Structure formats: C-alpha cells, structure tokens
Structure 1
C-alpha cells in the first residue's frame, strides 16, 4: 500500500511527508518541556521547521531536474522517514544550515551535465559548500565532489579547475570582513571545530543501534544494485548517478569525523541515501517484496519512538 501510494507523484504524498517531518520535529523537542514558551521561541522553532521542509524541497528539485529517479515520491518519503529515525537531526541548527547549503552546492554540481554556464556553476557550487563549512567545518570535504565532477566530465579547461577555489576565497574574505565588523577581530565570528571525534559511545543505545543498522543494511544492499545498474542509465545522466554514490561515501566520512557524535551528523547522508534506495525500489519487480521493503523502512522509525 505504501509503495503503491508513493509510486506516483501526488499532492497527498507531500502532506504525508509533511506530517512525518512535523512528528520528528515535535518528538525532538519533547525534552524541552521546561523551556519557557515565548513568541521568540515559537518563531525560532517555526523557522527551523521551515528549514527542514525547504531541505526536502531542494532534494526533490535536484532529483526531478536531473532525472535521478522516475516520477515517484519514494525519495521524499525516505528523507522524512530518516528524519524520524534520527529526530535529533531536526534540532542542530548549524548542521541543518550546513546541509541545506551543501544541497544548494550539489544542485549546481549536478547541473554541470548541461555544459552551459560552467564557470558560473563551478563558482556557485564552491561558494555554497564554503558557506556550509562556516556552519560545520567538515562539510569542506564535500568540495571533493566538485573535483570529481570535473574528472567525470573530462574537463581540460584549466580555468574551470581554478574557479572553485575563487568561490571558496570569496566566502573566506566575506566572512573575515563580517567578523571584523561584528566582533572587531578577524576570526572571532568563526566557530570551526577542527578536531576529529573518536568517541562513538553516544551511539551505544538501542535507538541508535537499530537506526544505524537499518540505514547501513538497507543502504549497502541498495548500493550494490545501484552500482550494478549504472551502465543502464543514459550516458548524459550517468555522471550524476556516480556523483550521488560518491556523495554518500563522503557523507559517511563526514559522519565518522564529526567532533561530537550527537546523531545530527547523519543528516548529510540523507539525500544521497534516499536517492540510492529509491532507485533500488524502482528495480524491484515483485510488488509484495517492494511493499515489505518500504514498510520496514517506514514502520521501524515509528517503533523507535516508543523505546
């Protein structure tokens, strides 16, 4: 039933996704019951929720614009379900902003396939990823995707290899100038944590273990078929599909390097993982297996709320 409902793009699907995202958002804030409810607090929470919704819309735009899935809504359902699996991802504002700007950068990277306005797209991609880094330092690793895209598109224009660094330099200069104006010092505005987190004990709970196991098992299984079917994709879109799998690997690295393991860092892997699993769902011919596969992904997060 779930698979058949989301097998086609329908307005009701977005309402379901909105409900799941709202539920994740509310569950993440139950622990804030002692927080005094003021107008400022309500407005801030509304803005954060709006950011969560905008993130899903950006992911949907990237996928539809680059034909990364067929005309279905599996990807947005999966993204909202991932929110529910790790409800704390709706709480860390810095990571939410960092992931949002990373997705804007990914959007520009994906659009390189058209080979139009390449210089502008490379600058924009680097610019957005650099801004993402201001909110969460290890997001800088996603800069690798720009290099990979240039390699995949066999770009031999030296200027195209230099332009991304000008995008990063632009953000750095603007950030330093802002810091001087606001704080009177060059780098006081920067809140970059360069350390690497080696303490994974925070993941040692039933909720985390089940959630991580589900994402890893379903993600790895789907990735096998995703890679297997790459050759069947249209040549003009093949590089985009390759960038997705690399984005998933880079996101895994970002998660591993996270200075403080709160679970919010898993947000960086939601977009590529939702695309990979959605592509696998499209290849399943047995309707009953597709329903079971998707139902497990949807039901387990709801069960985790009871633990």
Structure 2
C-alpha cells in the first residue's frame, strides 16, 4: 500500500522535466517583468544584469524546490498548479508594487460585487447589501475613477433581486453620500481639511493642542483605548467560551494566541505605530463571535461601543 501511495505521489521523470520547464518559463517571464517594471532600479544598480540574473535564478530554484516539496502531498498531475501559483506570485508582486491603487480598487469592487450577489440571501437585509455595495464602489473610485462604472452593476442587482421596492433604488445614493462624508472626514483628520475647509483647517491646526492630539507622533492614547476595548470584548468571549463545547474552547485559545502575538508586537515595536493594526485581527474575531451569540440588547450595546472606539481611533491615531 505504501509503495502504491509513493508511486502515485512522487514525481516521475516526466513530471520532473515538466517542473524544470515550468520553472524556466517563470524565470524567463521574470526577466521580462524585470526589464519592464524594474528599469529604474536596474539603472541605479552598478551591475544590473548580474543582479537580475541572480534574482531570476533564485525564482527558478524556489519554484522547482516548492514543487518538489509539494509533490509528496499532492498528485503529480496537479503539480502544474504549484508552478503556476509560484509564477503568479513572483510575477505579480513586482507589478503590484507599481499598481497598488488598482489592487485596492479591485479589492473594493470585489467586496461590492459580493454584496450585490448576496442581496437575496437574507430576507430583510436587502437595503443593507445595496448600501454597502454602492459604498464600496465609490471607495474604489477614489483609487481608480473608472471603478465608479460598477455602480451600474449595483443597479442591475437591484433590478434583478428587488425591483418592486422604490426605496431600494434610492439606497445607492445614501451609499454615495456616506462615502463622501468619509472622504471629508479623512481630509479633516489626516490632511487638515485643506481641500474642503482651508480657513477652518488653518485655525484648528494652529491651536496648541493640535500637535499633541491630532498630529501626535505617539499613539499611547489610541493604544490604551484599543486595549481596553479588546479586553472588554475578550472578557465577554471568555464567559461564553468557557462554558461551551471543546471546539469553542480551542477557538478561544487560538484567539488568545493571536491577541498575545499582537500585544508582543505592539510592545516590542512601539516606534512602528502602524503595527497596532495587528490588534484589529483578534478584536474583530472576538466581536464577530460575540455578535453571533449575543442577544438584541447586547448587540445594540456592542455596536455603540464599537462606534465610539472607531471614532476615538480616527481622531487620535495619526
């Protein structure tokens, strides 16, 4: 039996040849990508050809080795997926470095289309799905203006899934207004509101407390608020998980490990204040799980609590 399994999983001569050829193809494609995307970097380098060749060789070797390692876990006929995945990764990362706006816009469009496709999944929540679909489309338009064209898809979704309710047709306008409010808030808090309120901005940020609050280099206040919020939700989840089944206890320990990791990162790397975002992962998991089992009154309390925490974070984290 073991011999049959090894025969079915280990690559044969033909598969090895395929892996070599696929790795070489990825290497050639990387050379083309280097020449197109990394021309400024190559011009600054003293030995551009040698460095590009070294990077290409590392890519080829990595693709080949990863495929060999994976060959012991999947069938040989599926090994092309490993090579293709590595190729997409090594080809995509340099390109994404130059097209981050398009990447963010595509992600937001995906979130929008996801809400469109789920309009009818939960009766009574159609308007919320339409709202978030239009909201994400407008957000994507901040990064790539052409993404606003997907607003037509939102209205097609309304036409297909909920055409009879006239209020549903007006919901996308509310999503547009909400995204505009978010844009104005972003301008005021992060950029001083120069684009919208130049006079108010000059007066507000000329006050003595502005440098200590709105443009502070440290983030101690925000960190303390986030720690308190996370600890409160953690205590709620502790009471819920400890009296339940073994799988929930296991998830609880996983969340604990996530929270501990985030805390260690924030303490050891305090100067990199943006790493506080690692707190959002366990906090989101805890909150999502608490929402799933909370009563109506508890859910209302948690929503207000999250709104306050988000507002404080927006004002004091720069």
TM-score by length of 1: 0.35
More RCO (CA 8 Å, sep 6+): 1
Q: Which has the higher helix share?
A: 2
Greater CA radius of gyration, 1 or 2?
2
TM-score by length of 2: 0.34
